Chains A and B, each alone.
Chain A
Amino acid sequence: MTAARQLAERHRFRWWELLPWIAGIAVFFAFPNYLSFGTQVLITILFALSLDLVLGYAGIVTLGHAAFFGVGAYTVGMMAMHWGWNEPLSGLVAAALVAGAIGLASGWVLLRTQGLTLLMLTLCTMTLLEQAANMGAAWTGGFDGMPGLSFGKILGLFGFDALYFRSQYLYVLAVLFFCFVIVRMLVYSSFGQSLTGIRENLLRMHAVGAPVRARQVLAYTVSAALAGVAGALFTQANGYVNLAVLGLERAAGVLIVLILGGYGRLYGAFVGAIAYMVLEHLLAKAYPTAWQLGIGLTLMAVALYARNGILGLGDALRRRLGAGGTR
């Protein structure tokens, strides 16, 4: 019966789940000069969280997740540039819808494939979008992107502050919290359980009569919409958008963040984004010319000794310490 109780209680909030949010608010007061950096970290967390839903839970291997980040980023950028639509929250909704639609359309086609084929096709989709953004200069600003965008007040109350990022930070933190609650609900639901089933054994999932592809496409769509929100936040917080939001570097970066933190465990996105970006920040300060060497060495260490990321390392440690006691 203990197994049943464990399963029944798994989704309950635990006290330590408050910590990231307390820390998020604490940073606002403790490091007023780092809020620009903090905002970028929060956006990366959201982006990695969206990837975790497909990669970590549903086992869909993608190298093109920046496609949706970019679509979201360009959606709010283009709305502000061409239509003067600069209300932030409705911009997020639009970005989620457009990115979700592209996730649905591309997922519908791409998720017929698996493994390396899928990996290549997600990469191709992203590259196509990147080139579209490059060539459609009249709409997207082409290679230069769209600099100097300005956005209106959030809910008509507080405006973005270009110098200290105070309102950006709180706004992005609030949006991250909202999106996190959605992802958390999904992964602990029966739908989330079936996604892990798909990840663990596709053949068996078909044999229990699950509509496997529909579930995958749905997860992909939700994930794309969330990545779109992350991209939209990027444009809004920074006031510009350029081709880099759609690039391979961003797609690979978020993958590294998630693997570093630990995929398929909800909080890996948080730990990975903070660890990666803080490390990058410190290394770039210490060795302005060779900081990537440090990142590379860290990743090698993770790949060799911590397959399940930083959070997995914590698990292994706890198992080892607890091995002497009861199971």
Chain B
Amino acid sequence: MTSAMLETRGLCKNFGALEVSREVNFRLERGARHALIGPNGAGKTTFINLLTGVLLPSRGSVVLEGEDVTALAQAKRVKRGIARTFQINQLFRGLTVLENVCIAVAERLGVGGTMLRPAGRRADVIEQASRLIEMLKLGGDAGRRIVELPYGRQRLVEIAIALGLNPRVLLLDEPAAGIPSAESHILLDAIATLPKEIAVLIIEHDMDLVFRFAERITVLVSGAILAEGTPAEIAANREVRAVYLGSALDA
């Protein structure tokens, strides 16, 4: 069996007596379009935090392309190609869209700590950031500060920052959360046009989005994997329908 892009083996996380991840064995294949779904409190965001190194697991391991990265700090994992977005926007609110993305690009290129050269003379950083901003159709807003943008546009900046890190694995934590449904197509388009070589794991409550986007779905309930399969398999799974999807699919 070839190594997955990202894999967890027997991943457990306890907060005291509370088990938020239980023996999670998960594989994210190269170039995957994978969705992680589950009811509120199923441990989805905890799982992302374990993958990115924000939290350390109580047991088990995180493996990136066959290499155990469990002990690596968040910053090191970012350098190895794991990037994420947040469920609630985490942006540099007082800075412009361009500056937001430039900060990410500068860190990836390893020039974020240089002191002698003005940031404005980093033509390579600005150019790469501008290209990403164009790609996400944020070009008209590049010079505007985050606080001046509507929430939906801010969600796109979240993705632009993550892409600025040139990830091999992109973890999207509820990218459509908080966006009015009339605007969610912009986000869907953005996600649909992500480069094929990036393995994408999306956590989402919007089932339309999940079933349009995902080629594979994992269902997490109470910290453990309940089921995994293609969208058709998941939709047909009686257990999943019972605990989670309920009537949403009957309609």
Check if B90 sits within 8 Å of A203, measured CB to CB.
yes
Q: Is B21 an interface residue (CB 8 A)?
A: no
Residues 112-129 of chain B: 1 if any A CB is under 8 Å from the residue's CB, otherwise 0?
A: 111111111111011100
In the complex the two chains form, is A211's CB within 8 Å of B126's CB? no
Please tell me if the beta carbons of B115 and A186 are within 8 angstroms of each other in the complex.
yes
A208 touches B107 (CB 8 A): yes
A207-B74, A207-B84, A208-B165 in contact; A191/B114 too (CB < 8 A)? yes
Q: Determine the chain A residues whose CB is within 8 A of the CB of B127 once the complex forms.
A: 4
Q: How many residues of B contact A (CB 8 A)?
A: 49
Q: CA of A197 to CA of B103 in the docked complex: distance in angstroms? A: 7
Q: Which of B83-111 contact A (CB under 8 A)?
A: 83-84, 86, 90-99, 102-104, 106-108, 111
**A interface, how many residues as a size bin?**
35 or more
In the complex, what residues of B have CB within 8 A of residue A206's CB? Answer: 54, 74-75
Instruction: Give the interface segment out of A8-16, A20-28, A275-283.
Output: A8-16
Does B92 contact A197, Cβ atoms closer than 8 Å? yes
Q: Is B39 an interface residue (CB 8 A)?
A: no
Q: Which of A10, A185, A209, A215 contacts B74 (CB 8 A)?
A: A209
With A207-B74, A209-B75, A210-B75: A2-B143 Cβ-Cβ less than 8 Å: yes
A192 to B159 alpha-carbon distance, docked (Å): 23
Set of chain B residues within 8 Å of A193, measured between Cβ atoms? 99, 102-103, 106, 112, 119
Q: A326 contacts the other chain (Cβ, under 8 Å)?
A: no
Majority SS of interface residues in chain A? helix
Q: In whole angstroms, what is the CA distance A192 to B108 when docked? A: 16
The CB with the most chain A CB atoms within 10 A, among B98, B106, B115, B117, is that of B115
B210 within 8 A of A: no
* Contact for A204 among B76, B90, B102, B126, CB less than 8 A: B90
Q: Could you tell me the distance between the alpha carbons of A211 and B111 in the complex, rounded to whole angstroms? A: 12
Decide if B78 is an interface residue (CB 8 Å cutoff): yes
Which B residues are CB-close (under 8 A) to A211?
75, 113
Contact of B95 among A1, A196, A203 (CB under 8 A): A196
| Residue contact B143 to A6, C-beta cutoff 8 Å | yes
Chain B contacts for A210, CB-based, 8 A: 75, 103, 107, 112
Q: How far does the Cβ of B170 sit from chain A's closest Cβ, in whole Å? A: 12
User: B interface vs A, CB < 8 Å?
Assistant: 52, 54, 74-79, 83-84, 86, 90-99, 102-104, 106-108, 111-123, 125-127, 130, 142-143, 161, 164-165
Interface residues of A (CB under 8 A from B): 1-4, 6-12, 185-186, 188-194, 196-197, 200-201, 203-211, 214-215, 218
